[in-house]
Structure 1
């Protein structure tokens, strides 16, 4: 970073924001997660009813509250109304215009609490009941409603159905655990200020550029807009006018508005600030997975009305070492002091010196320093050991030099999750007399998070054996069939025998070891089944459920076998992999994946003269622009 670029960055960081964006972003993520558990709010009659309630119940109530406080404590917005309000505020220009037309001022969220709060709700419910005696405060997400709602009060004509559908995919893009990390979010706030500063410079120089942020910036931008009065004040002070947020572009194919906008934003950012724009954990993850077809929030109130007293036995029967994982993005920025006469293209291989569950083979990235193309490689690995970087030529295939990077050193020393520096390569023996080659490497990474377990199930004649990634035995399971019920028996490597689960009269299974009860909740189609998994408490996102998931896999396998659907490898030592969760990033592809960059925060967001949202590149090992 040159001195002029440092000054630009310092100037960007002077931008004043009147909201604690780190704390607010965490609350924002919790709210999006709760909405995602109530997916009927994404489409259909529940969405229609939520929009109706928002326009004709919530906004008038909020208008009264902001005009003259109608209760001592904060107002608590119902979840369905908050979701529609959320999407409305993400068009800040339209939201401001609607509020001023209908209420004469911007309706802010000052002294308003989110639906995810568990306090202060009673007073709001009482006010709601007095104002709307025939409309419940909480919307029943499982009810069916007529679409013809009658109300004579004025309301916004903004297409809120389309706004919701554009924003619905956004949570998947920002749902990785690293997004809740303070250091990651602090870096995102700094980059958001840089993004606003870049737009300001474009406006000052009369440049029309559709600026497209990465998803870390986009999360902070969305969070800022959720405080409409502060957003208008802060952005007006920084830019001279309100920054519009246009989320109507969603086409990410090569050459489209989002694609070219992201390319230009990347170049402008790197020219202005002298640092890389692309970041690990902040790129487009691809399309969200297909939904389950059921409302997850409904499971909270079902199937756990049985009075059961679970056993405390076998809680520590299986002990697996918890691994952590981080995502790393590497870009080769430059190469110097190449031997004279060297011709042809170069590439770099990346591997670990030590064994690694996640990075167990070499990854390749072509060097495009002297072209207009931009490429980075992204992978996951454990945050320990050394990365080995090897510079090679294509023709002939030859190693030119190597260097290593200590991951522990990176994690402990780089407070902003990003670094860029020159590395001198140890030359190949055939080049020992040449001047050492140097490679400039830019790397970013996510904070380490707890990794998912990967367990292998091997079927034998009488039992199923479960092993870890290193093929170490964990436990073997066997079904015992009595006249009145069935039991799942576990045999540990030390020779112990334990009753792990017992079939219940309620057509489910009670897990003795883990305080859990599960059952077939719903048959989604002829191939897919949703299982209800209930306990006597809620579980955290990071809590491992190794034994319950192993037992569930065993029971599914047994059920398939009993139905005549057993696998061909039964009794032959075949195996299949089981994971206890969904990975935060797409599975690895080939060593080099060439892909066009793309934009979108669900629908893609932006400003025609300088602001957009979420453009990045599709999943795989390498990103190319």
Structure 2
């Protein structure tokens, strides 16, 4: 089993770890929650908020200890506290003592304190509104400061933190496990300030890493506790002088000195997983302030995805005489067993820790394996395994540091750093399956024999919905025909256009033991879509059981409109990959027809006035990606309704709806959809990139013939091919 990276250093650090007077992990959690909700309270603060903070709030805070101020004032207060020396001097000059922020680390208690403050505020300042909605701040005009009697120094301090919420937008850092690991490194950072810098290198300045900065700001957000703790550690007068503050510009040389000093002291890399916000956005779509509520938990067959960021570091110099033929290979235990990322040993020898791989893995991959191999033919394909080490996600999550190390040979060590897994968007695709009857049974001779050859009535086109791991979770059916089939003239006929409804059933197929590919659809119907047509206005309207109404306007221009009387949010369906799903056209070969296959659902709300993308669908490939806040049944109804409508408008089978047999998929676990991603890698493998960059390659089946056409054979009992063409392409 891999060893903890801390070793003797970790035991020594834990033995002398200071007892902070505030729970830093909980403080960081509350700080992040407030920063991510700040845009809903008016965004950046301006001079009016600074005036309210100085003239109204601080005198009140000096009298009442357990009150939470208005959001705009609280943001000013936080930013002022982040400059501890300035805040301490300000409080001492005005009140003769340091004013602390209320030590409330629970959301419910914070809400109670805010409501109580609202009452106190109304009684004390009846002419001043508690919530400030007009808080314009013009960064180019300082005369606004004088006009509003705001403290210019405080305004300038606040400006430095204008980008703080964006800096801490990483989805991984909200987890408590991450905060515990960050606290451990923060303790080491303070120890470095105390033992190394203050005593031996007074001219050295330290640049806090991403996680250490979060802990430092969370600590400073409670000024009395921070002052007490720094005094107890004997570094109160040195921290501000030695540590580079947020927004302060320093040279790369200063940053590198911090890395070197950290590595010399603790023998571990200074940068850890979770800090690269831009790369995470390229790997998968997420919303920093997305609700934690998953509306799809009621669907038992739908399993959520969990992603984690993984950094692999290497340190050491190989003395092997075969170094030119030796290499490292990275693999995953499950989910993407075909993954083979190779690095030659000749390029990896280094006396300091170097980042070798940066990837994002689903938690379902279970573990990472590093293989030490020697080539037997001068290439990576033919090689001999010399040694391998595995890093289990479960083992790493039990480590306080979220880090494990292991030796790959005598002089070389591998270190893996991970983030806690977070819920990622759902990935679903619809694959063809057998035609079913009105009751949900597949049309088959096996079913006929079981029913003593009583004919199966009705014909429904059927699609099985698979998740990212190839697991069945829903069945979608489109009503096509009525009647029965018997040998001779009797055959099903198409139902009326308005009767060609769509239904979604939750669950998996109940297969018959004697025929593993024949069975019954799940009984529970969880969603339906009913069509209606207006020929005069050239539009098709779909009414969903979820309360949504989809209108497709066709003619010279194609428009999609979505309405729901029960929702206050505005929803727009935009053609193409929009917002965070957009593709850089300069580096891809996308053309207009490919872009038209995609639709992005954008919802506008008070928290997101500019709109946020909550779903991306490809109606041609019948694939969807959506945030947990979107209902899976609604998404599937939307996707299938659009596919059916586009088939009718274009008068060709653009979405492959005429296919009426299960197509063989790739082996589960061999290369699961979205299981591993390397967004910045030069790899040409589309399976290591977000699926919508090259959807056709990622979602293609394994059952093909040389000309690329899937061989199809249908039973006469399904009904004639004209039946389905007439229903789909009238």
TM-score, normalised relative to structure 2: 0.59
Decide whether the 8 Å contact of 1:336 with 1:439 is kept in 2: yes
Aligned residue runs from structure 1 range 514-529, under 5 A: 521-523=570-572, 529=601
1:215 and 2:218 are equivalent in the alignment? no
Residue in structure 2 matched with residue 489 of structure 1 by the alignment? 503
Q: 1:119 Cα deviation (Å)?
A: 1.1
Residue in structure 1 matched with residue 363 of structure 2 by the alignment? 382
Q: Secondary structure at the match of 1:511?
A: coil
Listed one character per residue, the Cα deviations across residues 436-472 of structure 1 (whole Å, up to 9, x for unaligned) are x774222233344555532124589967653223444
TM-aligned CA distance change 1:19 to 1:56, over 3 Å: same
- Between the aligned partners of 1:158 and 1:316, the Cα distance in structure 2 is 48
Decide whether the 8 Å contact of 2:335 with 2:469 is kept in 1: no
Q: 1:205 Cα deviation (Å)?
A: 1.9
Q: 1:270 Cα deviation (Å)?
A: 1.5
Residue in structure 1 matched with residue 269 of structure 2 by the alignment? 276
Listed one character per residue, the Cα deviations across residues 377-420 of structure 1 (whole Å, up to 9, x for unaligned) are 23324366554322246893344613142626734764542222
TM-aligned CA distance change 1:333 to 1:592, over 3 Å: farther
Residue in structure 1 matched with residue 247 of structure 2 by the alignment? 248
TM-aligned CA distance change 1:369 to 1:103, over 3 Å: farther
Decide whether the 8 Å contact of 1:455 with 1:469 is kept in 2: yes
Decide whether the 8 Å contact of 1:75 with 1:124 is kept in 2: yes
Q: Secondary structure at the match of 1:75?
A: coil
TM-aligned CA distance change 1:483 to 1:356, over 3 Å: closer
- Between the aligned partners of 2:652 and 2:227, the Cα distance in structure 1 is 62
- Between the aligned partners of 1:227 and 1:153, the Cα distance in structure 2 is 23
Residue in structure 2 matched with residue 349 of structure 1 by the alignment? 329
Decide whether the 8 Å contact of 2:5 with 2:268 is kept in 1: no
1:500 and 2:527 are equivalent in the alignment? yes
Residue in structure 2 matched with residue 511 of structure 1 by the alignment? 546
Q: Whose Rg is larger? A: 2
Residue in structure 2 matched with residue 91 of structure 1 by the alignment? 83
- Between the aligned partners of 1:382 and 1:587, the Cα distance in structure 2 is 15
Listed one character per residue, the Cα deviations across residues 495-535 of structure 1 (whole Å, up to 9, x for unaligned) are 2472615689999855289x99668715598865523699x
TM-aligned CA distance change 1:154 to 1:161, over 3 Å: closer
Q: Which has the higher contact order (CA 8 A, sep 6+)?
A: 1
- Between the aligned partners of 2:127 and 2:88, the Cα distance in structure 1 is 30
Residue in structure 2 matched with residue 440 of structure 1 by the alignment? 413
Q: 1:21 Cα deviation (Å)?
A: 0.7
Residue in structure 2 matched with residue 25 of structure 1 by the alignment? 28
- Between the aligned partners of 1:266 and 1:408, the Cα distance in structure 2 is 26
Q: Secondary structure at the match of 1:107?
A: coil
Decide whether the 8 Å contact of 1:418 with 1:442 is kept in 2: yes
Q: Secondary structure at the match of 2:169?
A: helix
* Partner of residue 455 from structure 1, selected from 428, 434, 459: 428
- Between the aligned partners of 1:96 and 1:524, the Cα distance in structure 2 is 52
Decide whether the 8 Å contact of 2:312 with 2:414 is kept in 1: yes
Residue in structure 1 matched with residue 122 of structure 2 by the alignment? 129
What is the count of residue pairs matched by the alignment?
527
Aligned residue runs from structure 1 range 60-75, under 5 A: 60-69=55-64, 74-75=66-67
Listed one character per residue, the Cα deviations across residues 260-310 of structure 1 (whole Å, up to 9, x for unaligned) are 333322221121122333323345544868xx9x99899x9xxxxxxxxxx
TM-aligned CA distance change 1:265 to 1:452, over 3 Å: same
Q: Secondary structure at the match of 2:349?
A: coil
1:35 and 2:10 are equivalent in the alignment? no
Residue in structure 2 matched with residue 171 of structure 1 by the alignment? 168
Decide whether the 8 Å contact of 2:503 with 2:528 is kept in 1: yes
Decide whether the 8 Å contact of 1:98 with 1:156 is kept in 2: no
- Between the aligned partners of 1:78 and 1:233, the Cα distance in structure 2 is 27
Residue in structure 1 matched with residue 392 of structure 2 by the alignment? 407
- Between the aligned partners of 1:356 and 1:565, the Cα distance in structure 2 is 39
Q: 1:125 Cα deviation (Å)?
A: 1.6
TM-aligned CA distance change 1:557 to 1:212, over 3 Å: farther
- Between the aligned partners of 1:79 and 1:486, the Cα distance in structure 2 is 52
TM-aligned CA distance change 1:399 to 1:544, over 3 Å: farther
Gaps of 5+ in 1: 42-46, 251-256, 301-311, 425-436, 535-540, 575-582, 594-625
TM-aligned CA distance change 1:160 to 1:392, over 3 Å: same
Gaps of 5+ in 2: 139-143, 434-459, 480-494, 510-519, 533-540, 549-563, 579-600, 607-626, 664-673, 685-730
- Between the aligned partners of 1:366 and 1:39, the Cα distance in structure 2 is 52
Q: Secondary structure at the match of 1:204?
A: helix
